[in-house]
Structure 1
Amino acid sequence: MAASDLTLTPEQATPAEVLLEFPDNRLLIDLCGEFDRNLAQIEQVLGVQIVRRGNQLAVMGEAADKAATVLEALYHRLETGKPVEMADIEAEIRMGRSGEGTGARDGDQIEMFKGGAVEIKTRKKTVEPRTEAQKDYVTSLYKNELAFGIGPAGTGKTYLAVAVGVSLFISGKVDRIILSRPAVEAGEKLGYLPGDMKDKVDPYMQPLYDALNDFLPGKQTAKLIEEKRIEIAPLAFMRGRTLSNAFVVLDEAQNATTMQMKMFLTRLGQGSRMVITGDRSQVDLPRGVQSGLREAEELIKGVKGVSFNYFTAKDVVRHPLVARIIEAYDKADAKS
């Protein structure tokens, strides 16, 4: 019996109870987690009760059907040799996957599995979107030559974009990865930084280095940067260039001026893909200077080949407290 064989026994189950049967007891132990912590997490979030009966799990409560779908998906994940961690459980609860996947997409680098789950393969790890908005965003990055990801911090906008860039690079679909962001201080004056030009701009670029190092071995990353096959540079360095056969990411685009945004968008060359990410609530430009991200959103929405994906606090995949903080600020902004 496969994990997807959800067994309902009418004489044992009530309308608010679902009985699941899992054939492999070892995988069931992993599904439950140490001291049943995985089951406890599902119970807490969905407000259900889960009771183990041999190789069966009885799920009770108004959200029993959804909890059963989550348990079934997690068991299938274990069947494919993947671990089940707290973040994976949270992702399954958010996604609420159902139905069958559609097979491989865009070669072997992005795949859709059972329930429409998307995976991005890189050298160091396989990346999975953890919300529906993230899944739609990743799909847009592969489908469109120019994609925008707009939303609050912690929603994976830049992280997923860099992951897709690395996947396309290692599969030979692009020759270069170019990561850029405006060198704008976040509300505080840091003064003059010591060192050469690289030393001065690297602190602004560090989040891009962090994402890149998650997907490529350190030595390989250093070599590719030395060979200029990966470039991490401030937005100002993009002027006058034509970026062909490259995967280009502009991070923190809310801090680009109108002229900078126009300059960057017109760098797109043949065989390239471009991703613009930003958070409209975190503009660090001087008072009175319009954000180029906001204007670009107004001007080119609806242009063929351009996609816009939006994230909310519900898509935050950092600590759960981050989502609650963002929601509190959003409520305050709505009142003002």
Structure 2
Amino acid sequence: MTWQAEHGRHDLPWQQTRDPYRVWLSEIMLQQTRVETVIPYYQRFLERFPRIADLAAAPQEAVLGLWSGLGYYARARNLHAAAQAVVAEHGGQFPRSAAEIAGLPGIGRSTAAAIAAFCFDERVPILDGNVKRVLCRAFGIEGFPGERAVEQRLWALAGELLPPAGVGRYIQAQMDLGATLCTRSNPACTRCPLADGCVALRDGRTAELPTARPRKTPPRRASSMVVIRADGAVLLERRPPAGIWGGLLALPESGARDVADWVGAYLGIKPGAPVALPALTHAFTHFVLDIQPWLVELDAPPTAVHDGTWYWQNLDQLAEAPLPTPVRAILNALPPPAGRV
């Protein structure tokens, strides 16, 4: 805590408030995402939804649009659902205890504890990735931290180490230590306040601890995505609420069918020859997706599309459209229509 007061981070936007809405938003955005990436998203989100009631009242599409590019979109859907639960079930007031907070959609034990500690001074431990790394190295804890037995041991240790007072500063110190000194690679051990008692440093095992996740070769999947363009717009499909890219607008996929045959069957027209666009690869947590995009040009949008989940999206209005990152990349790289420069 003494180290944090002098060397920790003090100027992040969410550190200047004890408003649980703002702290919660930052904690969700920071899950598996770097601070420098989160800051502009955080600021734009609060400009659009300055209060939790504003977020609760917004359509999910608007929430996903602002989240577009941040990834792990279930976070945004759960954020929206949790805001609605706070308004409907808690009178618009954020719950004050970690146990109650953890009952909201998409909020796990560690995130709930961080909110309760920072905003309401509840004496509870957290166990995010930074804290797991610090504890595994400092105490020489073996085993992958994601395994249940190892995680339970870390939770117990994190609870035992809590100071009698100042828990918010202590938790911030843990986070800062892992984020700035006890980093995954090349930790700055010579500047660490725990160096004298660190087991990993003593035994020369900072590169080995924490134990890495058992390596598995992720499976690969292939997808043919179809860009149907007409009058400066493209045809997009609203994905189902659950699953990959749930609730986002994505390019339709032709599956194993011939692209021209698929377009003809779904739109009831005979398109020109599809043009192959540059292929790209997108890595998810559990698999890798190889994408082959195809461009189909139409003179004008058909009068009808397959069903109510399809939308014509103007290409000059992509900024806040709720698009997955690879779809946005494909659309931003489209060549101009034939005959234009």
- The structure with more strand, counted as a fraction of residues: 1
**Which category describes the TM-score, using the shorter chain as reference length?**
under 0.3
TM-score by length of 1: 0.26
Which is greater in Rg? 2
Question: TM-score normalised to the size of structure 2?
Answer: 0.25
